[in-house]
Structure 1
Amino acid sequence: MSLAVRLLSELIAYPTVSHTSNQAITEWVADRLRAQGFECEQTRYLDGEGVPKFNLIAKRLPTDSSSKSGDLSTQSIDRPENETGLAYFCHTDVVPADRWGGPGGNPFEAVIEDNRLYGRGSCDMKGSLAAMLAAIDDLDASKQSAPLWVVCTADEEVGLRGAKELAQSSPAYRELVALDPVALIGEPTELGVVHAHKGMGGFRVISHGKAAHSSTNRGVNANVAMIPLLQTILELHERSQTDPMLRDDRFDPPTLTFNFGISDHADATNIVPDRSEVWANWRAMPSVDGECLMAEAKAAAEQLGLQFRSYKSVAPLETPIDDPTLVRMCELASSYCGREKAETVCYATDGAVLEELRHRIVCGPGSIEQAHTVDEFIELESLENGVSLYREAVQAFAMKA
């Protein structure tokens, strides 16, 4: 059993579904990295249900005092490639596995079958973390020439909450931002290099009525006031698909993929519904934020006397295609993924809230097609190639040439 497979098996054994605490897995990663000479900062916050969550920033400085962080922060972006520094980002939470259908029957016990490793999080994204930990284990720390970070966040699967907390309150993150290293977000891309992904926006509209027995005339059906707004929602949906000003052809699909739903929460036909809700969300792109849709929906809702609530948006990610660190990462990855140019994807990552970092790159083993599935797996070849690519990335951006 390779080191990466063993590490991934141990990581999967932590049942870190987002509604539970990730303290144990965070401490496990921190202990391993401390043994490799890393300094660790663990920050704690409570999620909306009062469950404690933990972020980790582990940092290892080069042994050469002339290359320590204080000196690097004063250098220009043109500093030598191997002194850029590298920060690897991942999340430790996973989606629920209540309907697990993979081999073995236990989503938190790794099973190897047909050159695949099955288990919740194997692809998204504990496989990536295992690959980076294995890569670091194989490197000579005495040859390190720039800072190296491993950053693990909580709650990525439920609104990027951990990364937001990290950016707002972590002293170690502020130091990382000052040095502006290559920020490698290890989400599954089949080891292709991604330079841009979509963000998210949306809103909720609420109509209030009065509940009563449906045989009387004392109720006020909340759906009545909501119905006129549905025409506006339909028009916005159609416009998002057809308006050429709301397209970015670098993405597939190139539209905002406007999605919406309607509910009056009624569970009995003899009760007048006293609350009706419509929600909508879309995937914003770097050149198309969808705010015009928000403004039209808000105006229509307010005209009808309905309650309008906008969601806090998640920004798209975009690193310029000619960024030197991106170009170099593409060179390193090409032999593993067969693609020489950076690509775009339509899902979002923690990188969306790390906008202070100028060199954000998404690249990791595994395929997004396996993420969140009932039999999630990672190909063993992809996992081992991930170790090799991450090792080369650390050597390129943080090791002596």
Structure 2
Amino acid sequence: MFSPQDYLAQLVALDTVSSRSNESISDLVAAWLRGLNFEVERTSYRDRNGVLKCNLVARRDPVGQPGGEPDGQPSERPPTGLAYFCHTDTVPADRWTGPGGDPFAATTEGTRIYGRGSCDMKGSLAAMLAAASQVDQASQCRPLWIVCTADEEVAFAGARNLVASSPAFGEIATADPPCIIGEPTGLRVIHAHKGIVALRIVSRGHAAHSSTDTGINANIAMVPMLQTLCEIAERCQSDPALRNPMFDPPTLTWNFGVSDSMEAVNIVPDRSAAWICFRTMPGVDGQELIEEVQRRADELGLEIEHFPSGKPMQTPADADCVGELCELAKPFVGENRPAAVCYATDACEFGTLGQRMVCGPGDIAQAHTVDEFIEIDQLEKGAQLYESAIRHWCT
């Protein structure tokens, strides 16, 4: 039985940057979970670069389920319980400046543990593993699920694959238990977050020496497209129909940029690419804006590439599960109300689950930083909160 710090040190030691395989951490976590009497389903896929990625769905049922009664008759599975979700990949650590100099060695300095993924979100997984180890299976009367996905940092690709290919996830969707996505929130309860949409627009020309008139400058057709994008950005700031006051900022935060990748002034650019990224909200999906961009691109003869998007997440703030988790969090954060945030999580892909909440140790401001850390106090309180949640919904 490990402490949260022990679990975290071993998780951070594994380089699971999204461009690499997460097989090693999946193997380690699966072994730990089996040691805690979980049944573990592992599914895998190859990402767009052919790298092996793994998802885990672990389930621990009350003693005697689902194997049946002694006479061999199947027992009825309790319909609810608790499901916890995390991701095992991290962002790159090429510019690491944290103490110790090695992003994949958990380094304790003062009240903090530094290391890539310590906050986002291996700290959360360490807290849940420690919590599960403190709850005896014999005390359970409902199931506990722990789900670990790959590629959350790459457009939620692992969660998307999980939903499409995992029978065990289908069981969670059927049971529809309260679900905690363990991203760092300072242990505050998040009941809603924005989604994300991304597009690329490409203009093609013909390269030539700039002293001739034989080239076709790809930027010529891109300029009016940029004007349209700029007009849409201004509308997103001013149109009340494109706002949701639940969020801060309450807008789609329409963002765009452009590059022709040319560094020599004597070459006619043969390709110019613009990108668009914006954050959808419940009731504001921006579909009419996408259609406007598509029409303008068609007029100008430009290509559009649509990247996988994520839908916003919202569980009613007055839902029973939200109120119960806020009450469980009170010893650790004081009086609290559910909040809405502007970032997105794997919950974007879990629309079949009706009781989604985001709650985990650590500060989102530390995610993706060059000296990422988690406060030890947050890690320990996270384990205590998760243990309380398991006991509340599973025992």
The bucket for the TM-score relative to the shorter chain is over 0.9
Q: Which residue of 2 aligns with 1:182?
A: 178
**CA distance in 1 between partners of 2:76 and 2:368 (Å):** 43
User: How far apart, in 2, do the equivalents of 1:334 and 1:67 lie?
Assistant: 37
- Contact in 2 for aligned 1:13/1:108 (Cα 8 Å): yes
Q: What secondary structure sits across from 2:187 in the alignment?
A: coil
Letter in 2 for 1:213: H
C-alpha displacement of 1:203: 2.0
Corresponding residue of 1:266: 262
The one-letter code matched in structure 1 to 2:41 is E
Q: 1: distance between equivalents of 2:184 and 2:362?
A: 5
Structure 1 segment 307-318 matched on structure 2, within 5 A: 307-318=303-314
Establish whether residue 375 from structure 1 lines up as the match of residue 380 from structure 2.
no
User: Residue in 2 aligned with 1:122?
Assistant: 118
Which segment drifts farther, 326-335 or 103-112? 326-335
Match of residue 9 from structure 1: 9
Q: Deviations over 1:65-124 (max 9, x none)?
A: 499897346x6xxxxxxxx31111000000001110110000000111111011000000
Q: Report the equivalent of 1:63.
A: 63
Aligned to 1:167: 163
Deviation of 1:302 after TM superposition, in Å, equals 1.0
Tell me if the contact between 1:72 and 1:179 (Cα under 8 Å) persists in the aligned partners. no
Query: 2:282 is matched with which residue?
Result: 286
Partners of 1:133 and 1:271 in 2: how far apart? 57
| 1:109 counterpart (90, 105, 112) | 105
Deviation for aligned residue 1:175: 1.3
Query: Partner of 2:71 in structure 1?
Result: none
What residue in structure 2 maps to residue 142 of structure 1? 138
Specify the code of the residue in structure 1 equivalent to 2:175: L
**Conserved? CA contact 2:155–2:309, under 8 Å:** no
Structure-1 separation of matches of 2:34 and 2:65: 20
Aligned residue type for 1:279: W
- Structure 2 unaligned segments of length 5 or more: list them: 69-73
The equivalent of 1:80 in structure 2 is none
Q: CA deviation at 1:297?
A: 1.2
User: 1:257 aligns to what?
Assistant: 253
Which ranges of structure 1 fall in alignment gaps of 5 or more residues? 76-83
- Distance in 1 separating the partners of 2:259 and 2:75: 55
Distance 1:2 1:29 in 2: 13
Structure 1 residue 206, shift from structure 2 partner: 1.2
- Alignment CA distance shift 1:102-1:296 (3 Å): same
Separation (CA, whole Å) in 1 of partners of 2:237 and 2:384:
41
Determine if the alignment matches structure 1 residue 364 to structure 2 residue 348. Answer: no
- Residue identity matched to 1:299: R
Is 1:325–2:321 an aligned residue pair? yes
Give the whole-Å Cα distance in 2 for the aligned partners of 1:339 and 1:315.
30
Q: 1:346 maps to what in 2?
A: 342
How many percent of aligned residue pairs carry the same amino acid? 53
Q: Paired residue for 1:99?
A: 95
Residue 220 of structure 1 corresponds to 216
CA contact (8 A) 1:64 1:145 kept: no
Q: 1:59 to 1:226 in 2, by over 3 A?
A: same
Q: Is the 8 A contact 2:2 2:130 kept in 1?
A: no
1-structure distance, mates of 2:162, 2:118: 24
Q: Cα offset for 1:189?
A: 0.3
CA contact (8 A) 1:85 1:182 kept: yes
Residues 201 and 273 in structure 2, CA contact (< 8 A), matched pair in contact too: yes
For 1:316 and 1:88, the matched residues in 2 are separated by: 19
- Structure 2 distance, partners of 1:160, 1:298, is 24
Query: Retained in 2: the 8 A contact 1:102–1:376?
Result: yes
Q: Give the distance between the partners of 2:173 and 2:198, measured in 1 at CA.
A: 29
Partner of 2:226: 230
Matches within 5 A, 1:178-217: 178-217=174-213
